[in-house]
Structure 1
Amino acid sequence: MICIRSNTLNPAFNIATEEFLLKNMEEDCFYLYVNNQSIIVGRHQNSLAEINTSYVKENNIDVVRRLSGGGAVFHDPGNLNFSFIMQEKNNETEGFKKYTQPILDVLIALGVDAKFEGRNDLTIEGKKFSGNAKCTFKGKVLQHGTLLFSSKLPDLSKALKVNPLKFQDKAVKSVRSRVTNISEHLNVPITLNELENSIIKYVRNIYTSSEIYEFSISDTLAINKLVEEKYSQWDWNFGSSPQYNFTKGIRTKGGHVEIKMDVQKGIIMQIKIFGDFFNTRDVAELENLLTGMPHNRKQIQEMLTSIELESYMENVTPNDFLGVMF
């Protein structure tokens, strides 16, 4: 086994690294990383339905889709993430317990009453501190999990808070649980870095032939290529969302504005605009302009700068309109 510790807080790079290790490394791998504030959404989720878009935009929070299924998770520098990328015999992957047990062992040794509960959660006193997910590729399994250590839980709540009335779809939904930080349950305080050291030491004791691995220049170039072509792209992070219907209404100076949309693979297939605003041009023209566009805030904002929105909706600003689109 090779053990790798990330030296970047870039979520797109760290998530891309997991794919690189899964698909390119013959050896079993253990990977530890910490991300800047970000939301990591599951492979089969509607990204927009999982996030508080205004809060995410205001706080420059990255949204990155991962390879594995499951629900959306909030990352920040108080959250440690671990990944096992392992060969599995006969392509039959075991349950989540196998690769979460080393984490439990370390925490129990530190005096924390941590347990495996449900399908894929680690808890302390009934509160979740770790969610885990997995995917497979050619006889290998990638299982990874979060470890809330000193995460800013109010930020987590705000970033993942979304209006349930906006979306009607069949995408996988995140289940919100009561959460806690590991640091709140330690008898003797330690730092996140010390926890990381304890985990990697324990894993290396289990897998006695393990060694610390540093990425080569070619490794880094390959990962950066994945970042550039996939994990930093709207098409992957948002456009890969399953089909969904979106409905939202807001009150503006010009009156009430409501939008209903059908979105497929991130593209607006149908859109209807309703409201009690006044106009001098037919709103159907605006609907036609929006049909076929990505449900992408930046691109729609650019389109709005090229038209006279006032002629379609008196006293409704572009910011108002973006507010009802997202």
Structure 2
Amino acid sequence: MIYVETNSIIGSENLAFEEYFLKKEDIREPVLMLWRNRPTIVVGAFQNTHEEICEEFVKANKIDVVRRTSGGGAVYHDLGNLCFSFIMEHGDFTNTDYSAFLKPVVEALRGMGIQAGINGRNDLFLGDAKISGSAVRIYKNRVLFHGTLLFSSDLEILSRALRVKQDKLVSKGIKSVRSRVTTIAEHLSYDMDVLEFRERLLQALFGESGGKEYEISRNERREIMCLARDKYESFLWTYGKNPPADLTHGKRFGGGSITVKASLKNSRIEQIRFEGDFLGCMEMKDIEQLLNGVVYERDAVSRVFEELDIRPYFGTITKEEVVSCIMGDDRI
């Protein structure tokens, strides 16, 4: 395993490091990154940024906002949160089971006396509260699996910076964001700060075999910084386009929420867009292009999905659920 040290606490730069090494196909060994951000909201690839953040609070508190390339929901980072990233060749990964990626993290935490467990597909919990969320991005035959670890984050800021829809809270059976999360530090029986936690996690993930740190060249760092500036710091990438739509349908499923926004012309789909916190790991433009020009009628829309494996795009959300959301009905 290779370890990459970003030496950055800027969200746009750390996301650029991830993308650079995901697409660096000449590295065949697994890559590990452990990194932190200054106060930052990281929104999922398919989310509407304006709907996920409390903009007035975010601006007043100088919280950065960036968009990642993986699906899932918006998360709050600060220097009390530790992020982990694994990059490797993905083999037969189908985007329905994250346990193979999460188990090493769980084992490392338990080795420190932190009795974390996997809850659902992509979360780690301590007791009844969440300490980690994770997501995936696929590029060719390579996969990026990354997640958060709330070690000593300011949960009050977290709860005020993020805007969570009421239907999500109801579906989880909770009253507020704050009641749903906890920090690892709150559950420790001994003193440890986030930097010591980082070192102990690194040692545990490397194991007895150890690992080596990748030496980033000056040219590589320059390329990464350009990617951070040109993509991850751009308004268009972070906030996206919001063209007018003739119809908007939204639903929440077990695998996440989907909002469909579509424009129609002569009873055909002229343009369609999928938004939400569903755990897609590939670009939605593939699906959106297949639907453009299709008659807006259930059977015609269903035929588009007949021979398509939608798991890389929608995770555990089924074809029938996607079609029901597009059509705005309850037939599943």
* Fold shared, TM-score > 0.5 on shorter chain: yes
User: 2:306 is matched with which residue?
Assistant: none
Q: State the shift of 1:188 in Å.
A: 1.4
TM alignment of 1:225-304, pairs within 5 A: 225-239=226-240
Q: SS where residue 180 of structure 2 aligns?
A: coil
User: 1:104 is matched with which residue?
Assistant: 106
Q: Quick check: 1:33–1:82 contact (8 Å CA) kept in 2?
A: yes
Provide, for residues 62-114 of structure 1, a one-character-per-residue CA deviation record: whole Å limited to 9, x for no partner: 11000100000000000000000011224656721112212211221221221
Provide, for residues 1-35 of structure 1, a one-character-per-residue CA deviation record: whole Å limited to 9, x for no partner: 21123311111000111111101252321011000
Q: Once superposed, what is the RMSD of the aligned Cα atoms?
A: 2.6
Q: Quick check: 1:44–1:241 contact (8 Å CA) kept in 2?
A: no
Provide, for residues 96-148 of structure 1, a one-character-per-residue CA deviation record: whole Å limited to 9, x for no partner: 11122122112212212211011110000110000000011111110100000
User: 1:65 is matched with which residue?
Assistant: 67
User: 1:19 is matched with which residue?
Assistant: 19
Moved more, 190-199 or 125-134: 190-199
Mapped to 1, the partners of 2:98 and 2:146 lie a distance apart of: 9
Mapped to 2, the partners of 1:263 and 1:56 lie a distance apart of: 30
Q: State the shift of 1:241 in Å.
A: 6.2
Mapped to 1, the partners of 2:14 and 2:74 lie a distance apart of: 16
Determine which of 147, 150, 153 is the counterpart of 2:152: 150
TM alignment of 1:40-55, pairs within 5 A: 40-55=42-57
One-letter amino acid matched to 2:44: G
Mapped to 2, the partners of 1:115 and 1:241 lie a distance apart of: 38
User: 1:139 is matched with which residue?
Assistant: 141
Mapped to 2, the partners of 1:23 and 1:241 lie a distance apart of: 29
Q: TM-score, normalised by structure 1?
A: 0.68
Aligned pair in 2 of structure 1 residues 61, 200: CA closer, same or farther (>3 Å)?
A: same
Q: Quick check: 2:45–2:68 contact (8 Å CA) kept in 1?
A: yes
Q: State the shift of 1:43 in Å.
A: 0.4
Mapped to 1, the partners of 2:161 and 2:8 lie a distance apart of: 22
One-letter amino acid matched to 1:20: Y
Q: Quick check: 2:51–2:163 contact (8 Å CA) kept in 1?
A: no
Q: Quick check: 2:96–2:121 contact (8 Å CA) kept in 1?
A: no
What is the percent sequence identity of the aligned residues?
39
Count of residue pairs the alignment pairs up:
238
One-letter amino acid matched to 2:193: T
Structure number with greater CO (CA < 8 Å, separation at least 6) is: 2
Q: State the shift of 1:214 in Å.
A: 3.0
Mapped to 1, the partners of 2:162 and 2:219 lie a distance apart of: 36
User: 1:305 is matched with which residue?
Assistant: none
Q: Which runs of 5+ in 1 are unaligned?
A: 166-174, 246-261, 265-326
User: 1:84 is matched with which residue?
Assistant: 86
Q: Which runs of 5+ in 2 are unaligned?
A: 168-175, 247-260, 264-332
Provide, for residues 159-204 of structure 1, a one-character-per-residue CA deviation record: whole Å limited to 9, x for no partner: 0036879xxxxxxxxx957000000111112111111111111222
Which entry has the higher C-alpha Rg, 1 or 2? 1
Q: Quick check: 1:47–1:241 contact (8 Å CA) kept in 2?
A: no
Mapped to 2, the partners of 1:110 and 1:231 lie a distance apart of: 35
Mapped to 1, the partners of 2:12 and 2:244 lie a distance apart of: 24
User: 2:224 is matched with which residue?
Assistant: 223
One-letter amino acid matched to 2:196: E
Provide, for residues 231-280 of structure 1, a one-character-per-residue CA deviation record: whole Å limited to 9, x for no partner: 000010001568779xxxxxxxxxxxxxxxx999xxxxxxxxxxxxxxxx
Q: Quick check: 1:39–1:62 contact (8 Å CA) kept in 2?
A: yes
Q: Quick check: 2:86–2:146 contact (8 Å CA) kept in 1?
A: yes
Q: Quick check: 2:6–2:17 contact (8 Å CA) kept in 1?
A: no
Q: SS where residue 136 of structure 2 aligns?
A: strand
Q: Quick check: 1:45–1:242 contact (8 Å CA) kept in 2?
A: no
Q: State the shift of 1:210 in Å.
A: 2.7
